[in-house]
Amino acid sequence: MPQSENIRRRPDGSIDIDFYRAGAIALRRQAMRGAGVARAVLVKAVAIGLAFGFVGLAGLDARPQTSDAIEIRAGEEQPMAPLRARAEQLRLRLVNATGSSAVH
């Protein structure tokens, strides 16, 4: 029976399955480690990208940056105008009811 030099055999002439099994297990572990590293790198890259995206969005101001919007935010007259108008109406009623202009 001719034997090939490339096949590992036991002393009794049978193929050494344990040798080939150990080599296959080592190769599989190496492939799994490589896939795990690639997966970890991908997860980290996605997490960093999302973090930069959220930081970028948080830095944006949703309010318009026109000169009108800035004046309204800066001035105190605009938010208080309806209250002041109502206070003036009540003061005028009081002046009319009492007949006195001394109410301020």
Residue 2 in any domain: the answer is yes
- Is 91 inside a domain boundary? no
Whole-model pTM: value is 0.36
Helix, strand, coil % in the chain, rounded to nearest 5: 70, 0, 30
Domain region containing 55: 1-60
Angstrom distance (rounded) from CA 69 to CA 78: 11
Residue 81 inside a domain? The answer is no
Distance separating alpha carbons of residues 29 and 23, to the nearest angstrom: 10
Q: How many domains does the chain have?
A: 1
Assigned domain for 53 exists: yes
The pLDDT tens digits for 51-76 are: 888 777 776 665 555 555 555 555 55
List pLDDT tens digits, range 9-58. 999 989 999 999 999 999 999 988 888 888 888 889 999 888 888 777 77
In this structure, is residue 50 part of a structural domain? yes
What does the alpha-carbon distance between residue 24 and residue 7 come to, in Å, rounded to a whole number? Answer: 15
Question: Would residue 94 count as lying in a domain?
Answer: no
The alpha carbon dihedral of 63, 67, 71, 72 has a sign of negative
Residue 4 lies in a domain: yes
The answer to whether 9 and 3 have CB atoms below 8 angstroms apart is yes
